[in-house]
Amino acid sequence: MKIERNLSQGVVGGTAERLSSIHSLLSFSTKKGGNLTMTIAIRDSQLTIIQPSGHINAANAAEFQRQLTAAVTSAPQAILVDMYRVDSLDSAGLMSLICAFRLAQRLNRRFGICGVPPSIQMIFELTRLDAAFEIFPSRDAFAAMLERGEESVKLIA
């Protein structure tokens, strides 16, 4: 497994005015073709945004989960996973999200998901995890909810 870490300054996606800097850019791939790139950004020192892109599957789910765990444990208040660049998600990738969500709950941190493509939204609906995860249409919708101070009512037992 090859792992690259590049520190840089900039923005992620279309919300340049909302993000102060990119914390780090992580790119990893496996020999089985499980390519995945992940960008982690910190916004206003309260929100960490994780943006994976590519395929999240059994070939890279363990590394994805390690990165999610690191982000959740270091995030001050809230974590948002922006899925708009994710091409596919299998059960191993879904389990990584569930583990990160449970960890966030134990640490009293908010955990949300946004930008979910229709094919992946269907997976959340079929598994009924759309009722457990807080899923938002955009980063701005999640940020607005945080600014209003709304409490989360979603739980995974």
| pLDDT tens digits for range 115-149 | 999 999 999 999 999 999 999 999 999 999 988 88
Other CB atoms within 10 A of residue 17 CB: 7
N-term to C-term CA, the chain: 33
The token pair at 29 is 């791939």
| pLDDT tens digits for range 81-119 | 999 999 999 999 999 999 999 999 999 999 999 999 999
Measured CA to CA, the distance from residue 51 to residue 33 in angstroms comes to 19
| pLDDT tens digits for range 14-59 | 333 333 333 334 444 433 445 778 777 766 668 899 999 999 999 9
H helix or E strand, kind and range, residue 21: strand 21-29
List residues bridging with 150 in a β-sheet: none
**Smallest Cα–Cα separation from 33: which of 55, 51, 65?**
55
**Global model pTM greater than 0.85:** no
Q: How many helices (H) and strands (E) does the chain have?
A: 4, 8
User: What are the start-end ranges of the H helices in the chain?
Assistant: 61-74, 91-106, 118-126, 139-148
Residue type for position 124: F
Residue 86 sits at the vertex; the CA angle it makes with 156 and 44, to the nearest 5 degrees, is: 70
Measured CA to CA, the distance from residue 28 to residue 66 in angstroms comes to 12
